[in-house]
Amino acid sequence: MRIAHFKMKWLNNFLPEGYMIWAKYRNWLLLLVYILFFLHTALWHYWGYEGVGHLGFGEFFGTLRNGVVTAGTIFTIIVFAHALFFGGLFCGWFCHWGITQDLAAGIMRRLGIKPIMAQLNSKIIPWIWFLIIIAQVVIYWIYSGFPTDLSFNPSATPVWSGVPRSIMLICMTTLASGFVLIFLFGERAFCRSICTFRLWFSWFEKFAPHKVRQTKPCASCNNECTAICPMGIQVAEEIRQLGHVKNQECIKCHICVGACPHSVLQTSLRTNEFHREGAQILPPAALSDSIAWLQAGMAGIILVLFGFDLGGNISLSLGFIAGFFMIHIWHTRRISLLETAVIAILITGMYYRHDMKDTSSLIKGLLAIAVFLLAARSLDFTRGFEFINSKARKIIAPPAILTVVIVLAIALGARETHKSVLFHKANAAKINNDLKTFVSIMEDYAGAHLNPANAYFDLGNAQLALNLNKKGTDSFIKSLELDFNEKAADTMLERLFTGGHFRECQRLATWLSEKHPTVPRFRIAAGNALIQLQQLDDARSVFNDTVSRFPDNHDALIALGEVKVSQGNIEDGLKDLLNAYEMAPASVSFNLADLYRRLGRHEDAENYFAQAVAADPENLGVLLDQGMNLFEQQKFREAIKLWEIALEKAPTLIEARQYIVMAESELKKRRDAILGRQ
């Protein structure tokens, strides 16, 4: 009982005064939502369970584009169906970003920082975000066609897709979209001014029957329900005039229900005798329309310039904050210490946003939040709050500044739309195997793609298919310069080598070995390409250097031994292979077997073939070569048995059938010779 009491007391420290039993239950549910959120992520990324993918609302629009129904699509449909009856309840009880904002507000209250609610009625930014999403779907339909078939793949999109991989950037997003916005404009400021999903739920709220309703006559009070509402709704006025909360921003958090000192409020799907029709009550906005347009313009500019790198959430929030700071500094002709601190913290955080080391990234992110909280608690911003709550609604942004911002936002948006159209056109060309069109577009715009590293990789493959080998290799190098990945580098080298582009393979491998000198296989790849170019001396030099740098690397010894054999230095080559065999018998046994077979030492070869097959029994190539070694010794029946084993494992293996026919033909010749037949 003491533990339970302590937990509830600790929880109360993060709750506003008047937060009663409903809200306490809600807080535990929000905690459970976050636990499930991170458990889902851990199941996918750490424990390898990939049955259920990303559950974001964006998946629904992905389905509209390509016809693939994912787990996120099903989740979105369920939530929207629920919203038809319960309106914005999801935002109040289940939204992980709403939880983050509530936690931020609770921490600030705990530290003695009490955000003042400012009415934010403008929906310009949510509409911009929504129109961008719809435009992407429409453009996709124009160039790739409307999906005619639906398929179901619940794990098509990885969990946490679209979320920054840098913990530092996650912390900075929390700082900008959570702490800073709440400090300036009150609780749930992001929901009220930026979130496009909140815009959708407000539409559902208009028709949803589930409302906060009056259940008995109001007694005298201090309007606790209005004062405590995290969405800034005039709860008391709507209850007195309409008998229910009609404001479409209501998230059904039940905080007002618990705050009412006379227990007048309850939520219900049914109307009662207190229900009256009428318009929702919207108090005057704290910020004028021109300020709202300035903020929207700045949000659009930052979204276009940095959205792909930072993410839409933080980009729009930074633009919103920047627009407000611009007008406040212009109006007061001074910049406050608090504004200076916030700008410095955000710029510094953006500088370190790509720190991918989890520990240092987390420390930096938490430090940035801590420094902001210290500044918010210590630095006076009284004049700033007075400006927001009494002056800003009358301020008209300077026409010149507003015009420049809006024109720049439109110009950048038009440029980004043009690039988006070209990318969709290129993608459609790629799907239709129109590689010339794809290459002509991507050669100019791959660097501006959402994922430029992948774009250059795809461009390189297309250029190779068109025999533009040098350009293809250049594109591969650009891809690796942007985002180095050993697996991707190996894929590129294999693509060049198997395609017979040995000169370009050698160039890429040499570049890789210079940029990443600690990876020996890049040097080996360069040497192998030189062998194919008949530059054996150069290849031998590369392998000698690799062995001297990495004496314990058996692959380098194998390569050196093979090139020595090719040059006729058989004994030295065999010595290198035997040294490699001592390091990794299972890996080198096939190389020794193959060499002994080529030298005509079939019995020695048979010993190593047996080891190679034992090490990798599913490798049918080794089994076929082992049979050929027996065939060359005229052990036809033994060879046939091995090839029949290969056929049992792979009934469609044509080589095995051909070899069996060849061996049976030799056996027939032998029988005919014994019987004296011609």
Output the CA torsion 265→271→276→278 (10° steps): 100
Distance between CA atoms of 489 and 462, rounded to whole angstroms? 17
Q: Which helix (H) or strand (E) holds 78?
A: helix 71-86
By the 8 A CB rule, do 161 and 56 touch? yes
Summarize the confidence of residues 478-490 as an average pLDDT. Answer: 93
- pLDDT at site 15: 46
Tokens of 167: 């913990």
Q: What is the pLDDT of residues 376-414, one digit of tens each?
A: 999 999 999 999 999 999 999 999 999 999 999 999 999
Name residue, tokens 């000698």.
Answer: 544
Beta bridge partners of 69: 152
- pLDDT at site 249: 94
User: Which residues make Cβ contacts (< 8 Å) with residue 234, sequence separation at least 6?
Assistant: 226, 247, 281, 283
Tokens of 677: 């037949």
Name residue, tokens 């942007």.
Answer: 482
**Ramachandran angles phi, psi of 16, nearest 5°:** -70, 160
**Per-residue confidence at 33, pLDDT binned at 50, 70, 90?**
confident
Q: What is the pLDDT of residues 504-557, one digit of tens each?
A: 999 999 999 999 999 999 999 999 999 999 999 999 999 999 999 999 999 999
Distance between CA atoms of 551 and 580, rounded to whole angstroms? 10
pLDDT over threshold 80, residue 23: no
pLDDT over threshold 60, residue 21: no
Annotate 386-445 with DSSP letters as a single string.
Answer: HIIIIIGGG----HHHHHHHHHHHHHHHHHHHHHHHHHHHHHHHHHTT-HHHHHHHHHHH
Tokens of 370: 């801590």
Tokens of 78: 């369920």
Distance between CA atoms of 505 and 47, rounded to whole angstroms? 36
Distance between CA atoms of 377 and 202, rounded to whole angstroms? 34
Q: What is the pLDDT of residues 109-126, one digit of tens each?
A: 999 999 999 999 899 999
